[in-house]
Amino acid sequence: MSRNSRRDFLKNAALLGVATLPMSLVRLSFAKSGDDFTFAYISDSHIQHIKGNQFVRNWDMGLKRAVAEANLLVPKPDFVVYGGDLAQLGTKAELDHGAEIMSALKYKTHYVMGEHDYYLDLGAYWEKLFGPQWHSFDHKGVHFIVLNSVLTHHHWTYERWPTAERRMAEMSGLDNPNGSPFMVGEKQREWLKNDLAKVPKSTPIVVFSHSPLQKIFKGWNFWTDDAEQVQAILKPFQRVSVIYGHVHQIQYNQIGNISFHSVMATAWPWPYPQSYALAESHLPVLTVPMNRADPFFERDATGWQFMNVKTGRVDLTYQLPNNTTRTVAFNAKTGKPGDIAYQEKTKRIPPQDHY
Ligand SMILES: [Fe+2]
Ligand SMILES: [Fe+2]
């Protein structure tokens, strides 16, 4: 980010009464102004154990910084969401260390399961530390839902691998052909239907998942296999936002009444896939006309963002330490999110093909 744009942002942030932070700050003001509130979002720290009490320092530091800055937020968020992939290989050492860092947070935190947390013991230890793999709660007029979207086929999960470590190793690779597509699964979809049965259709719905509840790029599991079925359950509601981690980059999209937004990682950026044109894709419009992350630069496209959900739609301002500030806001005219600087053709960054 240039010094000027950063200064402008800080000035604007001061006007809004918010502080900068390496995570998402979500502002909600659906109801009476007295009910306005914010929540913060931290994701994808990938705490990695080396041996003894040694951990990969860079990933530790990303999370520590996020926690420290969240504690300094003004206004104070009502709660924090952790978006998944707290651990790298799902071990007790990693989850304990991650939990210890997170315990410094002064706020109630809701945890989302990532595949790097799950595929060693299928979430058993994670549940002990952080609670149920899926749940919902109401807060000041908004219905929030936490899903485990990284489940997969019974056979792949239970029968295919000689050890739990091998299963985790196969699922934790970004482009491993032995991996398996993520899914929410029938049992959880039934739970979701029942959960939503009691919620008025005008209530704003905000869903937290780890993988996108849309199909973007199967080769890297930027994908949830039963996405359409989950979307169908959400369809009757007037304002739905899905916020997900996993992709370690900015993505946004609109499918019907559902706005989709990713949050960035505190660990590292993923570059964009070699070509979305090559991907099996079901998106009505490919909404990824943005700067590429540079995989050789550890902090490119990591950062934090502010979210404003005043209208019931999520608007995000991304703060990228080494890139230009980006704002993705819901455009009432087009009925989908747009990137204010990059959506216009003249300002679009030309495709880069060197990855
Ligand atoms: Fe991740
Ligand atoms: Fe992930």
pLDDT digits over 200-210, tens only? 999 999 999 99
Q: How confident is the model at residue 3 (pLDDT cuts 50, 70, 90)?
A: very low
* CA 48 to ligand 2 centroid distance, Å: 14
* CA 46 to ligand 2 centroid distance, Å: 9
Check if the beta carbon of residue 231 is closer than 8 Å to that of residue 260. Answer: no
* CA 267 to ligand 1 centroid distance, Å: 8
Check if the beta carbon of residue 337 is closer than 8 Å to that of residue 259. Answer: yes
For residue 171, the ligand closest to its alpha carbon is 2
* CA 181 to ligand 1 centroid distance, Å: 15
* CA 248 to ligand 1 centroid distance, Å: 6
Please tell me the distance from the alpha carbon of residue 118 to that of residue 172, in angstroms, as a whole number: 10
Tokens encoding 262: 């990713």
Residue 316 pairs in a beta bridge with 307, 328
Tokens encoding 20: 């900068």
Query: Is the pTM here over 0.85, yes or no?
Result: no
* CA 179 to ligand 2 centroid distance, Å: 12
* CA 84 to ligand 2 centroid distance, Å: 7
Mean pLDDT of 44-50: 93
Tokens encoding 207: 């869903």
For residue 302, the ligand closest to its alpha carbon is 1
Residue 112: is its pLDDT beyond 50? yes
pLDDT at 104: 97
Please tell me the distance from the alpha carbon of residue 287 to that of residue 279, in angstroms, as a whole number: 14
* CA 137 to ligand 2 centroid distance, Å: 24
* CA 72 to ligand 1 centroid distance, Å: 25
Check if the beta carbon of residue 144 is closer than 8 Å to that of residue 138. Answer: yes
For residue 59, the ligand closest to its alpha carbon is 1
* CA 260 to ligand 1 centroid distance, Å: 17
Please tell me the distance from the alpha carbon of residue 260 to that of residue 254, in angstroms, as a whole number: 6
* CA 174 to ligand 1 centroid distance, Å: 9
pLDDT at 157: 97
Q: What is the DSSP string of 96-143?
A: HHHHHHHTT--S-EEE---HHHHTTTTTHHHHHHH--SSEEEEETTEE
Please tell me the distance from the alpha carbon of residue 225 to that of residue 144, in angstroms, as a whole number: 22
Tokens encoding 283: 């998106």
Residue 317: is its pLDDT beyond 70? no
* CA 85 to ligand 1 centroid distance, Å: 5
* CA 333 to ligand 2 centroid distance, Å: 33
Mean pLDDT of the chain: 79
Please tell me the distance from the alpha carbon of residue 311 to that of residue 315, in angstroms, as a whole number: 9
* CA 200 to ligand 2 centroid distance, Å: 32
* CA 30 to ligand 2 centroid distance, Å: 31
| Residue-range domains of the chain with CATH | 3-30+38-347 (3.60.21.10)
pLDDT at 310: 62
Check if the beta carbon of residue 61 is closer than 8 Å to that of residue 68. Answer: no
pLDDT digits (tens, 9 = 90+) for 258-284: 988 888 888 887 766 655 555 554 443
* CA 210 to ligand 2 centroid distance, Å: 6
Please tell me the distance from the alpha carbon of residue 53 to that of residue 164, in angstroms, as a whole number: 23
Mean pLDDT of 59-83: 87
Produce one character per residue of 125-147: b if its CB has 16 or more CB atoms within 10 Å, e if not. bbeebbeebbebeeeeebbbbbb
